[in-house]
Amino acid sequence: MHRFANPARFLRIARAVQPWTAAAMAVAFAVGLYYALVASPIDYLQRDTVRIMYVHVPAAWMALGAYSTIAIASLVSIVWRHPLADVCARAAAPIGAVFTAICLITGSFWGKPTWGTWWQWDARMTSVLVLLFVYLGYMALWSAFDDRQRAARAASILALVGAINLPIIKFSVDWWNTLHQPASVFRRGGPTIHPDMLVPLLVMALAYLLFFVTTLLMRMRAELAAQRLEVAAERRALALEGAE
Amino acid sequence: MNEFFSMGGYAAYVWTAYAVTAIGLAGLGLASWRRMRALESRADRLRAVRRSERGQA
């Protein structure tokens, strides 16, 4: 773990890995979209609207995945004061927020033709909306401080408190009576979804995961460059003060 | 081909969901890439300037 603590080493690895994750993402999206839109069968009840599943469900998974990344990185930041952990957590937040927004919007466009409603204030939908607000609050908190260390500390604590929402989202469909269907992939006893639909779904999920990794690396590199510029500006300001 | 675009009469829902996803992911990916390029090139230029200053001194 601490071998990656060195930002120079991280940058070297990120630059080497990124073209591969980007290329793999492009392949996964091409294959996944072909199956999702053309080769996969229609549902006997939902007809073609079932195709929305292939963009909606991976967005939901990655909304939780990105938040888990932030929560783990925040814990690492608090316990070990690992400098890259804060960079990682901050970089993951906008990606997670976009996944959550995509999840909510595509869910709405799936709900209207299948349930007859765009929105319902039930446990699953409300807890995912709360997740979006937690993401936005987390990002706002980061930019509310001038001092990076203090911003990191406050953001980490918010991220860990907000992690309570993750199991609530996951089990909301079991704990409460909701309009949303229960889990059909990650459940005890195995998936209840037919392989003809499960395989395209997993390929799309892989594409989303690779998008997350690629974008996270880009945002972490940007963040590290921004830090270098900040340090340089500070040094210059001090040097000018000394010259006077 | 027409069948593909009409999505069994659900074109408005299916294609809107895919369009929202595409715009969201492509927009974020592109913005992240451009931000990375801009900040890294500024940081690299700064380092080059500082190195040349040190060389003169």
The complex scores an ipTM of 0.91
pTM: 0.93
Nearest CA in chain B to A232: B46
Quick check: A52 and B28 CB within 8 A?
A: no
B48 touches chain A (CB under 8 A): no
Whether A223 maps to a domain, the answer reads no
The residue ranking higher by pLDDT, A204 or B49, is: A204
- What is the token pair recorded at A50? 């079932």
Whether A66 maps to a domain, the answer reads yes
A14 touches chain B (CB under 8 A): no
Quick check: B21 and A106 CB within 8 A?
A: yes
pLDDT given for residue A209 in this prediction: 98
The residue ranking higher by pLDDT, B57 or A113, is: A113
Contacts of B33 in chain A (CB under 8 A): 218
Counted domains in chain B: 1
Provide the CB-side half-sphere exposure for A180 (13 A, CA): 29
**Mean predicted confidence (pLDDT) in A204-232:** 96
Tens of pLDDT, residue by residue over A71-118, are 999 999 999 988 899 999 999 999 999 999 999 999 999 999 989 899
- Domain assignment of residue B6, given as a range: 2-56
**Mean predicted confidence (pLDDT) in A206-225:** 97
Counted domains in chain A: 1
Among residues A99, A61, A76, A111, the alpha carbon closest in space to that of A215 is found at A99
Which of A47, A215, A225 lies at the smallest CB-CB distance from B32? Answer: A215
Whether A32 maps to a domain, the answer reads no
Would you say residue B3 has pLDDT above 90?
no
Quick check: A51 and B46 CB within 8 A?
A: no
Would you say residue A188 has pLDDT above 90?
no
**Long-range CB contacts for residues A110-116, cutoff 8 Å, separation at least 24:** A110/A49, A110/A52, A110/A53, A110/A56, A110/B13, A110/B17, A111/A179, A112/B13, A113/A46, A113/A49, A113/B10, A113/B13, A114/A46, A114/A49, A115/A179
pLDDT given for residue B42 in this prediction: 95
Supply angle C-alpha A168, A99, A123, rounded to 5: 25
Our CA-based measurement puts residue B9 at a distance from the nearest CA of chain A, in whole angstroms, of: 8
pLDDT given for residue A241 in this prediction: 82
Which of B17, B33, B42 lies at the smallest CB-CB distance from A218? Answer: B33
Whether A35 maps to a domain, the answer reads no
- Domain assignment of residue A114, given as a range: 53-178
Would you say residue A56 has pLDDT above 70?
yes
Provide the pLDDT confidence category of residue A2 given band limits of 50, 70 and 90: low
B52 touches chain A (CB under 8 A): no
Residue A193 DSSP one-character state: S
Contacts of A226 in chain B (CB under 8 A): 39
The residue ranking higher by pLDDT, A183 or B21, is: B21
Q: Fill in the amino acid letter for A193.
A: I
Would you say residue A5 has pLDDT above 70?
no
Would you say residue A1 has pLDDT above 70?
no
pLDDT given for residue A232 in this prediction: 87
Tens of pLDDT, residue by residue over A125-138, are 999 999 999 999 99
Whether A204 maps to a domain, the answer reads no
Whether A104 maps to a domain, the answer reads yes
